[in-house]
Amino acid sequence: MPRPMIHILNGPNLNMLGQREPEIYGHETLQDIAAACEALGMQLGLEVALRQSNHEGEIVEMIQAARGVAAGIIINPAAYSHSSIAILDALHLFEGPVIEVHLSNIHRREAFRHHSFVSARADAVIAGCGAEGYALALRRLATLLRPAGSTQGRKT
């Protein structure tokens, strides 16, 4: 059986992780996060594809392309979280679960980061867990996508 596909979409400046304000965003690179998510995906029975763009329209197109292909989306829209109704609208077109991830705790930072347009569509929001937030999101999607009554992937 093919593994359900999860798209992990990342917004502007996240290609610079590792070099970018490591005291806020940590030392792991986006490649490290991709590798960790692929390994965890294998354990959870999920296929994982991680993408990044610095352009709002490209992120909109990535979300549109996920329709009918991905079973779930994990998205860190980065600065577009706080400004992009276009990304929110695109996510409304997506039929599966959506989990919003922020490496930093946006609520402990500047006031302009406290509101995310994307949260209005997200099934869950994870903020302040660093790179581990992506792994937590993947685990949550595995739970949400598990067929009803299935014990697959359960620890007990």
Q: Which of 102, 126, 137, 142 binds ligand DQA (CB under 6 A)?
A: 102
Q: Name the DSSP letter for residue 27.
A: S
Shortest CB 106 distance to ligand DQA, Å: 5
* Residue 113 interacts with ligand DQA (CB under 6 A): yes or no: yes
CB neighbour list of residue 33: distance below 8 Å, 6 or more residues apart: 8, 17, 50, 131, 134
Shortest CB 155 distance to ligand DQA, Å: 29
Number of shown-chain residues binding ligand DQA (CB under 6 A):
10
> What type of residue sits at position 11?
G
3-state secondary structure at position 128: coil
Tokens matching residue 129 = 């867990």
Residues 27-86 that bind ligand DQA (CB under 6 A): 76, 78-79, 81
Nearest CB to ligand DQA, comparing residues 62 and 106: 106
Nearest CB to ligand DQA, comparing residues 113 and 139: 113
Strands (DSSP E) found in 13-93? 47-52, 72-76
1: closest CA among 47, 35, 70? 47
Q: Which residues are known to be catalytic?
A: 25, 102
Residues that bind ligand DQA (CB under 6 A): 13, 76, 78-79, 81, 102-104, 106, 113
